[in-house]
Amino acid sequence: MGNISERSAMPDNEETTCISFNDNREIAITERKINDPGENQVLVRMKACGICKYDIKCYKDSGTDPAYNAKPGHEGVGIVEAVGINVKDIKPGEKVTSDSFGGAFADYFVADLDTVVKIPEDVEEYEFWVAEPVACVVSSLRYLRIEPGDDVVVIGCGYMGLLIIQGLPKDFIHNLTAIDIDDNRLSMAKKFGANRIVNSRDEDAVHAVLGISKNKVDVVIEAVGAKGVIKQATGMLKNGARLCIFGHHAEDEVIPTGEWHMKGLQVLNTTPYMSKNFHKDLIDAVKLMEKGVFDQSELISHTYSFTDIKRAMEEVAENPSDLIKAVVTNYRDKLSFG
């Protein structure tokens, strides 16, 4: 109790169910004593946790990140159970979202204070308040510097691409074009504010964009991470334009640096590690979620009970065509794993 200033009525001997990725595509489910939070930490009862592509990478290849594999899960949302002695602005019983890197696939997880942000008291559907991915988008948008009248293209209308489209300042963008190979996702992009859509399976994306803009464009946000898309994006850009590499490219590839040089492109690699203050990004993400700028109610395509985590990871690893974003939820007080 030395580090704790306040806690709920949770018994001292309470245990937490947690998971680890042991061997390739194998999950161990264990019980362990709940750790008290440190001086600048909070203990959170997990109500939802997003499944990230990094989770799937580690699940499929246990050698990717042994430390993370031991305590996976970093998109946790839940209810605070206890706080450390230096924590003044968060109380037990309050609801928070977190970007604590590791350990959130558990009944209870400990998070550093600078990785949690309070969410509204009336939240009941916790899966819609997974905020770490939204913070990644906020971080990227800070560096993009969209200007009034810009023609903007987003390549890739998966989960992150659709979040980007939600967050872009569409009122002063001239043309916002979304590109994907899935008509359903393109329809969502249009609903979220893209005024032009291109199915690159049916037509050449570069020619389509040049036809829409009547010129090359000011900004391309590459949000798919597929091989060859960076070269495609480069062909759409005018001199002095901005190329944002947002998608994670798992494979190295040859990129058109000569064309980048001759066009004088500004190339941004907007990973979260570029952020000067990711906690502020998380705070601002929650503000914009409260305002409705970011709305995940149509983006969370798959939900699984935490008791069904093995099936969740296996199905998401197969990347079904209707998958946009998967979240595990934890709405029961005592869990029974099969």
Residue 259 has pLDDT above 60, yes or no: yes
**Sign of the dihedral through C-alpha 242, 222, 154, 260:** positive
Which two structure tokens, joined as six digits, stand for 41? Answer: 């930490």
Residue 7 has pLDDT above 70, yes or no: no
Per-residue pLDDT tens over the stretch 33-62: 888 899 999 999 999 999 999 999 999 988
Domains of the chain: 4-130+296-329 (3.90.180.10), 134-274 (3.40.50.720)
Give the list of residues 6+ apart from residue 273 with CB closer than 8 angstroms, or none.
none
Per-residue pLDDT tens over the stretch 92-148: 999 999 998 889 999 999 999 999 999 999 999 999 999 999 999 999 999 998 999
- Minimal CA–CA distance to 242: which of 159, 141, 325, 164? 141
pTM here is 0.92
Per-position b or e across 143-156, b if 16+ CB within 10 A of its CB: ebebeeebbbbbbb
CA distance 246 to 223: 5
Which two structure tokens, joined as six digits, stand for 170? Answer: 């569409």
**What's the number of CA atoms in the CB half-sphere (13 Å) around residue 16?**
23
CA distance 133 to 124: 20
